[in-house]
Structure 1
Amino acid sequence: MKLKTLKIQNFRAYQEETEISFDNMTGLIGRNDVGKTSILDALGIFFGHKLCKYEPTDKCVYSNENDDVIITCEFEELPSQIVIDATSITSLQAEYLLTEEGTLSLSRVFNKGKGTGAYVANCIHPTAKNAKGILLKKNDELKAIAQSLQVEANDNRSNVSLREVIYQSVGDLKLKPQAVSLSKEDGKAILEQIQNHLPHFALFRADRPSTDEEAEVQDPMKVAISQAIEDIAPQLEEVKNQVRDRALAVANSTLSHLSDLDPELAMSLTPDFKADPKWEGIFKLSLSGDDNIPINKRGSGVRRLVLISFFKAEAERIKREYQDRGVIYAIEEPETSQHPDKQKLLVEAFSDMAEKDGCQIVITTHVPALAEQLPVESIRHIFRNQAGEIEVNSNRDDVFKLIARDLGVLPDSRAQVIVCVEGPNDIAFFRNLSSILISEGYVAPDFDNDPRIVLLPLGGDTLRDWVNGHYLKNIGKPEVHIYDRDDKNPPKYQPTCDAVNARADGSIAFITSKREAENYLHPDAISEALNIQVVVTDDCDVPTIVGAALGVNDRTAKRKLNRIAVKKMTKERLDERDPNGEILGWLNEIVRRCS
């Protein structure tokens, strides 16, 4: 199951119902104390996370006394069936528990802001006589309804079978939007099964001491110890028996000597082991550096990086154990105590995680250096409007302008030439390849360090790219466009390429002679980087071929090719794959336009 949206109402600062949509990667951006943490806490409360306990004080102070606190999560990619018991297999659709769009919307309702929070399904549900509310009826009640309708189920012991024939007999169920309680009978049983399919919610907070004694560290360490103990269980059993035998021998010898002094007392005592040893509690695993400095004595940035790594390891372990469930990784302010270089690596790591099946990443931040690296489609801007109410907006130009203004994300005014490519994978390709050429002594644009060159994906992949794109398109600087030919004839971008080349401002555009950038990679570079053997031609679909060899989707394969395999390229390998010097020609045109 995959989280699609969250709605919160009367929860802390969110009085009016507020909806937040979620993608594989979602960045909650806003100023301090605007409500980012409350969104993560609302998710934690819904999923029953141990760090998120609902308290009556969480009710919005501006709500009325009788108002409920409601936290609603909507899910897609639902299980095809729900197994209530061995003889009762049904589905959310068959029980009319889905929305009009075919999603599952569950609310956790705290009545008047109190209680433990009852679950209800917001769905298109029957309202017709004999069909209304039958999900909450007992078997005897369902049999009575079926008898009154003069229908008989295949199995009268099965509530699922009885509901099915009742629905069929009623005919027009008069389906209407309803909030269906899941508090008893089969409603409760279905809820329990739904909860077994819900994503695992893993939360990493910002305000924590960050030592190796924390649960996020100790839990995976305990798992490592438990697995090690399980692997050597026979040897430990032998040790336990040896200890038992020797201890009993000492005890029996003691009793023998005691019988010389007090036979009656000795007869009343019997050697007995009360419990087996708890091996897990005997061993303790921690981390120390080469200089034997423990992790809790290291800098806060190092500690936090280690903790995030432990956090990921534990969440991935849970995902392995519950393979039919997804995982939502919620990380609050991951940039805390991190150097900007590490912030960039964190965003890249989160992006890689978000591409895994069943993984969703949610991060919060108010730091420009991290916010500007987030994909624009992932950004959710949280702010207070003029009326003082919290709003959450996304994917609108005015929203991106507001974020850039609020956080201080500024365009690079030093640009002299703008290099336009199709997307982030092309950016990685050219950055890595150019860096290799420079390291071998060749003249090439330094995309990483030369402020005169701006490498821009045309889709505005990150907030920084979006800001630069909107600023640079009006400053009259020459542009170098590079497009993939793909497998279309004529190429998809031929009209765009012709239009750029028709300008009189020094701009120039190219279309690859090969299918796409990945076709310029040498197969030896791919083999060394990814440990696979592939044949690369000018026209083959390299990401698909590599994805099949690695057992990953095309998108993940494309990222690996452009971020890992390209780093194994050399000038010699480039010459072999590009004997006409096509790529070198593009790079030379970029360098020539730097003033």
Structure 2
Amino acid sequence: MRLKAVSLQNFRRYRERTVVPIDQLTAFIGRNDAGKSTILEALDIFFEGGTVRPDPGDASIDGEKANVRIGAVFTDLPVALDLDAGAQTTLAAEHLLNVDGHLEIVKTYNCSVSGKVPAPKISARAMHPTAEGVAGLLQKKNSDLKKLVKGAGVEANCHQNSNPSMRQALYNAADNLALADTEVPLNDADAKNVWEAIKRNLPVFVLFQSDRASRAQDPEVQNPMKLAVQKALAGISDELEAVSKKVQAMAEETAKRTVEQMQGAYPEMELASVLKPAFEKPNWSSVFKLDLESDDGIPLNKRGSGVRRLVLLSFFQAEALRVREERASGGGNGVPIIYAIEEPETSQHPDHQERIISAFREVAGGGDQVILTTHVPALAGLLPVDSLRFVDTDPADGAPRVRAGSTEVFAEVAATLGVLPDAAHQANVRVAVAVEGPTDVDALISLAGVLMAAGDIDGFDQSRVFWTMGGGSTLKDWVERRYLDSLNIPQIFIFDSDQTTGAIPPSQEKVERVAEINARPNCQAFLSRKRTIENYMDVAAVMRISENKIQISANVDPDYGDMADAFAAALKMARAAHGQDLNFYPEDMEGRPLPLAKSKKIITAYIMRNMTANEVRGRGTYTDVNGESRNEILQWLTTIRAHL
């Protein structure tokens, strides 16, 4: 199941019902005390994560203190629900889906009490039958359902030892169910069994908070380990349920015999007539403990906050690695997880902030969900624009509001948090060159260096070129593109064609995008004739640079194949064959060693930089519609040079 939205009402600042959409990666951005952490803590209360518990102080001032509501909407629903006694049903058959076909669960807390808040009332907001004879069937006991089945004359259409079967027979026999938007209670009768089955399918939710005191078992350290236990338990929930039922049956049988013995031996005792065996299901997550210990004997919770947060960073990087490995092996993502992280930038160096955002994006891309909060401009600039949820106060009524998606919202985020482009301080910028990724910049600089050395193009001052990502995938990208519009400098866009074969033209979307940009004043756009920038590498250069030890397969199409994957495979084979004798030590533009896992970076910043002018010319040459020989690499670079 995947969380699609959360709703709050009468909860802290959110007095009026507020629905917040949730994506695979969701980032709540806003000033301190805007109401960002409130959403994460509400979810922890809903999922019973254990970090936050409902409190009378959670009720909104001037709100309905006895009606504090936290709701969650889910998609990717289970095909079937396994109830007690082996019965099966579905959410659709029980009419527990809302008007959009999603599962919407609402928990209502009575925060008007003075002490501990009691357990919530649980309901499903659904298009549910309201017609006479079929209303409230989930709240009926087995005996009541049998009477209704007999009265409707549908005994032959169901199994009377199965409540779901009897409910279905009654629904099918009704002329009109009169479906209406209803809150269906899930606390009583067979509805409770349905809720227990739903609970077993819910995602595992874990909240990492940033603002708390360090203690013996600091959650900042323990939560990743606690989550490891939760994931393991969730993966064997059916087995644990079977163990619980077996223990319950054996224990209740013993309790029953004890009570019967007591009633027979001591009939005069009134206590014997009221004793009933009661079984409380175990909290399995409290049974198993998993801690981390420091090698030098210093408790990890006594380390600096930055080190403790690095444990969290390492956890998410390890999760990102797991996602990659599962993708490579074709395995599933296992139990769905929702990671909620408050201010991941806390006590972290800016380099670590970039790495943890990268890990978050990869974990979210693998199928789990990541929700975070931040108010730091540098971190906000790294986030995908479609993940943003801007939390602020509505000037009209002073209520909190959560907004996403529009140009107006992005502008407000940038202004409120101070997200500014690097180009703002570069007074001598003459042209902006927008490409699809950082390795595209490396490639153009490498290719320009080769052709300048050969005299094919004049040299130009790199400090006057503002390189930016043209895809607009992050807030920083969006701001920079809009900023450059107002700066009124020439803009050049170079897009990958993304073609996987020459027989299929580029997507119409990209063609139209290039045409739209070319129609703008002061802008020029190019669509590459090969798949990506890596396809402008000459495979002969790879062999020459590696002394013929790295050989890219002849089965790979150099124009439309995935050259990064092809190079990675060739490098892996070369390392296996030659070991230490490979003598392949790629470096970046500054002469720093490049990790061998960075295939794209090696291609664009090292191999292309060491190609010959003839190799560069050869990879850029094409024949235009008039039969004339052209060179697109030269076209890109001379167009940039013309603005300098």
For 1:533 and 1:9, the matched residues in 2 are separated by 60
1:151 corresponds to: 154
Larger mean Cα displacement after TM superposition, 340-349 or 431-440: 431-440
2:221 corresponds to: 217
1:372 equivalent in alignment to 2:381 = yes
Change (3 A) 1:563 1:97: farther
Q: 2:440 aligns with which of 413, 421, 430?
A: 430
Q: Deviations over 1:450-495 (max 9, x none)?
A: 584131324x211111112222123331222212334453763446
Change (3 A) 1:588 1:69: same
For 1:293 and 1:439, the matched residues in 2 are separated by 52
1:41 corresponds to: 41
Larger mean Cα displacement after TM superposition, 583-592 or 76-85: 583-592
1:464 equivalent in alignment to 2:469 = no
1:585 corresponds to: 634
Q: 1:479 aligns with which of 468, 480, 491?
A: 491
For 2:404 and 2:520, the matched residues in 1 are separated by 34
1:309 corresponds to: 314
Change (3 A) 1:211 1:86: same
Query: C-alpha displacement at 1:120, in angstroms?
Result: 0.4
1:553 corresponds to: none
Q: 1:188 aligns with which of 192, 205, 211?
A: 192
1:205 corresponds to: 209
For 1:490 and 1:311, the matched residues in 2 are separated by 36
- Aligned positions of 1:488-507 closer than 5 A: 488-489=504-505, 492=508, 493-494=510-511, 497=514, 505=522, 507=523
Contact 1:26 1:362 (8 Å CA) reproduced: yes
TM-score (norm 1): 0.75
1:419 corresponds to: 433
Contact 1:575 1:581 (8 Å CA) reproduced: no
Q: 2:337 aligns with which of 327, 330, 333?
A: 327
Change (3 A) 1:195 1:62: same
Query: C-alpha displacement at 1:213, in angstroms?
Result: 4.5
Secondary structure of the residue aligned to 2:83 is strand
1:267 corresponds to: none
1:345 equivalent in alignment to 2:355 = yes
Query: C-alpha displacement at 1:157, in angstroms?
Result: 0.1
Change (3 A) 1:162 1:579: farther
For residue 363 of structure 1, what is the amino acid of its counterpart? L
Change (3 A) 1:490 1:9: closer
2:531 corresponds to: 515
For residue 77 of structure 1, what is the amino acid of its counterpart? D
For residue 515 of structure 1, what is the amino acid of its counterpart? R
1:236 corresponds to: none
2:598 corresponds to: 564
For 1:590 and 1:306, the matched residues in 2 are separated by 48
Contact 2:492 2:640 (8 Å CA) reproduced: no
For 2:360 and 2:99, the matched residues in 1 are separated by 33
Contact 1:343 1:370 (8 Å CA) reproduced: yes
Query: C-alpha displacement at 1:286, in angstroms?
Result: 2.3
Contact 2:44 2:205 (8 Å CA) reproduced: yes
Query: Percent of aligned pairs with the same residue?
Result: 36
For 2:171 and 2:349, the matched residues in 1 are separated by 61
1:455 equivalent in alignment to 2:468 = yes
For 2:28 and 2:557, the matched residues in 1 are separated by 43
Q: Deviations over 1:61-119 (max 9, x none)?
A: 22145x50000000111111111145411110111000111100000111365522121
1:542 corresponds to: 562
1:59 corresponds to: 59
Change (3 A) 1:13 1:494: closer
Secondary structure of the residue aligned to 1:341 is helix
Change (3 A) 1:431 1:86: farther
TM-score (norm 2): 0.69
Q: Deviations over 1:230-270 (max 9, x none)?
A: xxxxxxxxxxxxxxxxxxxxxxxxxxxxxxxxxxxxxxxxx
2:584 corresponds to: none
Contact 1:216 1:311 (8 Å CA) reproduced: no
1:9 corresponds to: 9
Query: C-alpha displacement at 1:57, in angstroms?
Result: 1.3
Q: Deviations over 1:339-369 (max 9, x none)?
A: 2222222211111111012x11111011111
1:119 corresponds to: 122
1:169 corresponds to: 173
Contact 1:202 1:315 (8 Å CA) reproduced: no
Query: C-alpha displacement at 1:332, in angstroms?
Result: 0.3
2:625 corresponds to: none
For 2:289 and 2:178, the matched residues in 1 are separated by 63
Secondary structure of the residue aligned to 1:473 is helix
Q: Deviations over 1:105-138 (max 9, x none)?
A: 0001113655221210000000111110001111
Query: C-alpha displacement at 1:575, in angstroms?
Result: 4.9
Change (3 A) 1:509 1:220: closer
Secondary structure of the residue aligned to 1:178 is strand
Secondary structure of the residue aligned to 1:148 is helix
Contact 2:10 2:59 (8 Å CA) reproduced: yes
Q: Deviations over 1:486-515 (max 9, x none)?
A: 44537634465467667884x543221223
Q: How many residues align?
A: 510
Contact 1:181 1:187 (8 Å CA) reproduced: yes
For 1:118 and 1:472, the matched residues in 2 are separated by 54
2:96 corresponds to: 97
For 2:64 and 2:292, the matched residues in 1 are separated by 51
Contact 1:515 1:540 (8 Å CA) reproduced: yes
Contact 1:84 1:193 (8 Å CA) reproduced: yes
1:404 equivalent in alignment to 2:414 = yes
Change (3 A) 1:57 1:501: closer
For 2:386 and 2:289, the matched residues in 1 are separated by 49
Give unmatched runs, 5+ long, in structure 1.
Answer: 226-279, 550-561
Change (3 A) 1:61 1:452: same
Change (3 A) 1:50 1:405: same
Contact 2:98 2:104 (8 Å CA) reproduced: yes
